[in-house]
């Protein structure tokens, strides 16, 4: 995220596929595994709701620039 998201054009979409692998142990993942991509996505959801809490941003590269997070089976769209 820290490398590619800042290069995204204003209003652009960033699509990540095969996110189901975040739950596979052989890819260093698992259910609610700290540091997995899906855990980062959950933090991004908290970030877009930063108006309602005082915890700041979890994912600095997306910060105030992320407007929506769409989660589908094996695909995330930012």
Tell me the per-residue pLDDT of 17-48, one tens digit each, with 9 for 90 and over: 999 999 999 988 899 888 899 999 999 999 99
| Whether 62 contacts 5, CB under 8 Å | yes
In the beta sheet, which residues pair with residue 75? 17, 72
pLDDT of residue 35: 85
Q: The whole model's pTM is what?
A: 0.83
How far are the Cα atoms of 30, 40, 61, 76 from residue 18, in angstroms, in the given order?
14, 15, 22, 9
Judge whether 31 and 23 are in contact, CB under 8 Å.
yes
By three-state DSSP, how is residue 77 classified?
Answer: strand
Looking at residue 70, its pLDDT comes to 96
**DSSP reduced 3-state for 15:** strand
Per-residue confidence at 6, pLDDT binned at 50, 70, 90? confident
Q: Give pLDDT, residue 75.
A: 98
Under the banding of pLDDT at 50, 70 and 90, the label for residue 3 is confident
């Amino acid at each position: 995220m820290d490398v590619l998201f800042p290069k995204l054009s204003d209003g652009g979409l960033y699509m990540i596929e095969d996110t189901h692998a975040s739950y596979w142990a052989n890819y260093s993942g698992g259910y609610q595994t700290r540091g997995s991509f899906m855990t980062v996505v959950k933090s991004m959801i908290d970030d877009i709701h930063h108006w309602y809490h005082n915890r700041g941003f979890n994912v600095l590269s997306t910060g105030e620039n992320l407007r929506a997070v769409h989660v589908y089976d094996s695909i995330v769209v930012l």
